[in-house]
Structure 1
Amino acid sequence: MEPQVRMRDALAFFLVVSLSLLRRSSFALSHHDLQIVHAERRIDLASHIIKVFLTLKVENTGTSIASEVLLSFPPNQVGNLAVLKASAVVGKRKKKAYLSLDVKPKLPDGPNGAKYFSISLLNPLSMGESVALEVLYILTHSLEPFPAEISQSDSQLVYYRDSAVILSPYHIKHQTTFIKTPSTKVESYTRLEPTNHAGIELKYGPYDEQPPYSFSPIIVHFENNHPFAVVEELVRRVEISHWGSLQVTDCYKLIHAGARHKGVFSRVEYQSRPSLSGVSSFKNLLARLPPRVHSVYYRDEIGNISSSHLRLDSKKSELEIEPRYPLFGGWKATFVIGYGLPLEDFVFESPDGRRYLNFTFGCPLIETVVDKLIIKVILPEGSKDPSFVAPFSLQQRLETSYSYLDVVGRTVVVLEKENVVPEHNLPFQVYYKFNPIFMLAEPLMLVIKLLEKFQSVLEQIRVIRQLT
């Protein structure tokens, strides 16, 4: 009996290994069915949020139909990848259109830990057919300050590391990489033939006939005094009241993530030489709020901060804020921004009778990276069956919150996302069922409290009369 069991286990192990090798071999063969005829990559280093625009022309050179195109990223970039979008280019010149495509992670990983993402094509490619693709991906925390510490009067220099050629599982016939820097002050850069530097642009290539998984490391050392504003944590409370208001409270933990400040800070020098002293610091931030805001406040642990300016119009509201002190590299600030909004602008009724909140995700501070964003939507008491719809993946959980005059507590929908950039400022919806009868709960509780108070006063009067 035992030899039979061992034989069966061996066969099962052999079958698993064979299927795994077959899957990997078929996966590898599918790479060779496609080739990139032309690739152009443009890397924008103007701020601490790096935007990369990639144009690809992909051709099917195999005999089987291809329904997906793989993108490959080195492991050091995957953790900093905030946004990845792809679209197919249809038509030419003035009739050109862009059709959005689904992009999802793909397993297994490639050589040396390369991570795959799969672009699903709308129309599979037969032998000899080609498709033009536009890809946008955004990287955060990818600029390394060097030197790591600077004084108040120094400019900020940073490293950017990448590859002159595109990391791809496909053969690339022709490719070029363009790198745009914030200014012409480039300390050094890796020189590969052909390489050209003119003004604020570096050009690597063109390179022809690059085999799959080619990689040519480059380093660009340049000046970047753009504010490295990073919100380590943003907690937003959106409280819905069906009595006519929406109350929003944003709690910020902000840091300047650039080169750390060393030495003593001189406010006299900072104010007398603003163009030379503290060029990499920032002393104000701009928040874009929804239109028709009211009751706006801005405060920190000490109290209200008066150095803010609110500009209103029919389409948007802009709040310019100044922390109590300018922020240099490594310095932090914590503060709260709160405001009210009309309920009818953001809470609606769906055809199936449910209510839903339509609000904007993301951070209202412009050009800011949020390491962790937590949105807490506090539903009215008595709400049931909450659900949400968002244009990207989020972590979700439910909590219960109690406030003044609550009986059973309020359901709180908690949504979390890491590595948030301005491109995540898109609408999301929270659906829930609500019976209007629950709107009477708070007035009834208020009446009961008043009656109890009135009864207590009458009792005190009765006792006083007995004593007198």
Structure 2
Amino acid sequence: MFSEMARLPVVHIGRSALGLLLLLCSCTFFAQAQKNIEVVRKIDLSSAVVRIDMTILANDLNGKYVVSFAKHLAPKLSFLQIAMGNQPLPWIRLPDAGDGLAHFQAEVPQGMTEAKLTVFGTLAGALVPVPAEIELTENQLVQYLDSHTFPSLYPTARQTTTFALGVSHIESFTKRDPYSRTGKDLVFGPITDIEGGAAASLSPITIHYQNNAPFVKALQAIREIEVSHWGNVAFEDFVEVKHAGAALKGGFSRLDFQARGAPSAVRGLVAVLPLGARSIYYRDQIGNISTSVIQHGPDGVELNLQSRFPLVGGWKNQFYQGYSVPVQELLTVGPSSGGVRRFTLTVPFSVPFPEVWVEDLTVKVVLPEWAADVRVEIPFSVDEEHQTHRLTFLDSSLSGGRPVLILKKRNVVAEHMQPMVLSYSFPTRAMLLEPLYLVLAFFSFFLVCMIFARVDLRINADGGKKKSKTHNLKSSYSPSWEIAACGKVSKVEISRFAMIECRWRLVQ
């Protein structure tokens, strides 16, 4: 009965106090049956985003396993993957049980008495600058709050937690025995025989240490991908970034920045582009920025962007960069069925900046006109998905314009830079419409020019009569008559004047 209640949708359980009670009973049942044999945690605190990597050896799984985090970290959890070997497991978040923990339940294959699970998660915004303001030349100190033991509903026989700080300078930390400092790491454990439940397994600690990593947060990022069957897939990323670290105290001095440096300032960003990227540009609101370096490697193109000014704590900047990739590198074509083919587009989901975590990301995929039956596959969930249409050059209102797929997601980190597979149906004959539009447009233009050149739009009522009289006068004029009347010229001269008269008549 308890296992059946665990399969109920989360929304139904959250609406009923009885459902919550049954959930707690279910967790208690699993806690009594299951056990963590060994847990190894490594928490990377060397960058602006916290990364948690856990290896759990558990027995008596009963088809389910619940991973727990401290409740204050749940809103900052931007990415979570629970896997068995190389196979990711589906998971759902359980309703709040009021025990100070956030629970995530994964479905484990049935019939396994012992399994080794790997859990990977990222926390965006979990590091708090303390103090909140520093001077330009000061080092940045941050604080991290977590549990030095693995919070779990199940009893744990043995566990070890390692905090990788990236630096050896630690202002202070909560001392829990047994602990040790090894180089740039802070190790708690091994700890044995920990009871299950939040009261026994949750042990808060605080670590205050130096961290001058780039604290770059994108307040807003808009990625637009435009697909053309005539040669290119165009990418353009608009990014509004902010230095999310300790705010600058006092004014900014270019002299101090050049002479003494600013340890926590961000001088530039690195973008990782596809291998076939070309026509790369980088601009801001003023115009083109030439201080960028492109390096081609075996796996891709690395674009090093240098902004017009360094980013210090609290400062913001806006820019956009773009590039094109040959369509044959990203688009595949399926067999034809009734003149319609299925096209499959594989592109990165997020913006190409691994060091930047995005607070609000919008992805727009503009497909060719007449594309239909659009489907998208992403290895993680998104917050919003809908479609619209857009009319651009050479588009017709008959089809409604080009389909635009819009995806939105919050708290996007480097782990979300995974391939997005988008497929759509497209009639092959529709590719001939745009050349036909161009041919008709040029034909119509030249036809109008020809008609306009042959139409006399001048208004002159007496022009025809005057022209005819003048023509009669000129035709009656003959230079040879005047020569004959003179009578004093030679025959040779008369023949010359006759030739002139013939030419005159031909001209008339």
Q: Decide: shared fold, TM above 0.5.
A: yes
Q: Give the conservation status (yes or no) of the 8 Å contact 1:374–1:416.
A: yes
**Paired residue type of 2:389:** T
**Does the alignment pair 1:338 with 2:322?**
yes
Whether 1:369 and 2:352 are equivalent positions in the alignment is no
Question: What is the Cα deviation at residue 169 of structure 1?
Answer: 0.7
Mapped to 2, the partners of 1:28 and 1:366 lie a distance apart of: 41
Q: State the identity %.
A: 33
Partner of 2:416: 424
Taking structure 1 as reference, are residues 399 and 156 closer, same or farther at Cα in structure 2, changes over 3 Å only?
same
Which residue is equivalent to 2:407? 415
Out of 156, 170, 193, the position equivalent to 1:209 is: 193
The residue number in structure 2 matching 1:247 is 234
In the TM superposition, residue 135 of structure 1 has moved relative to its aligned partner by 1.6
Q: Name the CA shift for 1:324/1:20 in 2 (closer, same or farther; >3 Å).
A: closer
Q: 1:315 to 1:420 in 2, by over 3 A?
A: same
Partner SS, residue 328 of structure 2:
helix
**For 1:311 and 1:250, how far apart are their aligned partners in 2?**
19
2:395 corresponds in structure 1 to 406
Deviation at 1:46, TM superposition (A): 0.9
Structure 1 Cα separation of the partners of residues 436 and 332 of structure 2: 26
Say if 2:157 is the partner of 1:173: yes
Q: Matches of 1:450 and 1:288 in 2, distance apart?
A: 42
Query: Which is further off, 308-317 or 145-154?
Result: 308-317
Given the alignment, which residue of 183, 193, 199 partners 1:199?
Answer: 183
Deviations 1:348-376 (CA, angstroms, capped at 9, x unpaired):
11357311111112221122211122211
Query: C-alpha distance in 1, partners of 2:158/2:297?
Result: 49
SS of the residue corresponding to residue 368 of structure 2 reads coil
- Find out whether 1:225 has 2:212 as its counterpart: yes
Return the alpha-carbon distance in structure 2 between the equivalents of residues 407 and 334 of structure 1.
34
Change beyond 3 A, Cα 1:52–1:18: closer
> Does the 8 Å contact 1:101/1:122 carry over to 2?
no
For structure 1, the 5+ residue unaligned runs are 1-15, 89-97
- Rounded Cα–Cα distance in structure 1 between residues aligned with 2:242 and 2:449: 54
The equivalences for 1:131-170 within 5 A come to 131-170=115-154
Indicate the SS of the match to 1:437: helix
Structure-2 residue corresponding to 1:325: 309
DSSP 3-state at the match of 2:267: coil
State the 1:163 CA deviation: 0.8
* Gaps in structure 2 of 5+ consecutive residues: 1-15, 461-508
Q: Deviations over 1:163-209 (max 9, x none)?
A: 11111111122222111112111000011222222321112233322
Change (3 A) 1:296 1:21: closer
CA distance change for structure 1 residues 80 and 17 in 2, over 3 Å: closer, same or farther? closer
- SS at the partner of 1:110? coil
1:292/1:270 CA distance change after superposition, 3 Å? same
Deviations 1:126-155 (A, max 9, x none): xxx432222211111100001101110110
Q: What does residue 84 of structure 1 align with?
A: 80
Asked whether the 8 Å contact 1:255–1:333 carries over to 2, the reply is yes
Measured in 2, the distance between the counterparts of 1:111 and 1:260 equals 35
Q: What is residue 267 of structure 2 aligned with on the other side?
A: 283
Which secondary structure state, in structure 1, belongs to the residue aligned with residue 26 of structure 2? helix
In 2, Cα distance between equivalents of 1:150 and 1:156: 7
* Shift, 1:20, TM fit: 6.5
8 A contact 1:84–1:103 mirrored in 2: no
Find the aligned partners of 1:458 and 1:314 in 2 and give their Cα distance.
Answer: 56
The within-5 A match list for 1:179-194 is 179-194=163-178
Contact residue 292 and residue 312 of structure 1 kept, 8 A: no
CA offset at residue 37 of structure 1? 2.1
Higher mean displacement: 311-320 or 451-460: 451-460
Determine if contact 2:223/2:350 at 8 Å carries over to the other structure: no
Q: Which amino acid aligns with 2:47?
A: S
**d(CA) in 2 for partners of 1:186, 1:280:** 17
Matching residue's letter, 1:294: R
Query: Within 5 Å, which residues of 2 pair with 1:351-390?
Result: 351=335, 353-390=341-378
Question: How far, CA to CA, are the matches of 2:348 and 2:330 in structure 1?
Answer: 10
Question: Is the contact made by 2:42 and 2:54 (CA closer than 8 Å) also made in structure 1?
Answer: yes
Answer with 420-429 or 300-309: which moved more. Answer: 420-429
SS of corresponding position for 1:31: helix
Counterparts in 2 of 1:263 and 1:18: CA distance versus 1, 3 Å: closer
Query: Highest CA radius of gyration, 1 or 2?
Result: 2
Cα distance, 1:81 vs structure 2: 1.1
Greater shift after overlay, 303-312 or 108-117? Answer: 108-117
Q: TM-score, normalised by structure 1?
A: 0.87
The match for 1:271 is: 258
* Contact 1:103 1:117 survives alignment (8 Å): no
Q: CA deviation at 1:33?
A: 0.9
| Equivalent position SS for 1:284 | strand
| Residue number among 254, 261, 264 corresponding to 2:248 in the alignment | 261
Corresponding residue SS for 1:66: coil
Distance 1:401 1:45, change over 3 A: same
CA contact (8 A) 2:94 2:105 kept: no
Aligned length: 434
**SS of residue in 2 equivalent to 1:466:** coil
Q: Secondary structure at the match of 1:112?
A: coil
- 1:143–1:24 distance in 2 versus 1, CA, 3 Å: closer
Greater helix content: 2
RMSD: 2.1
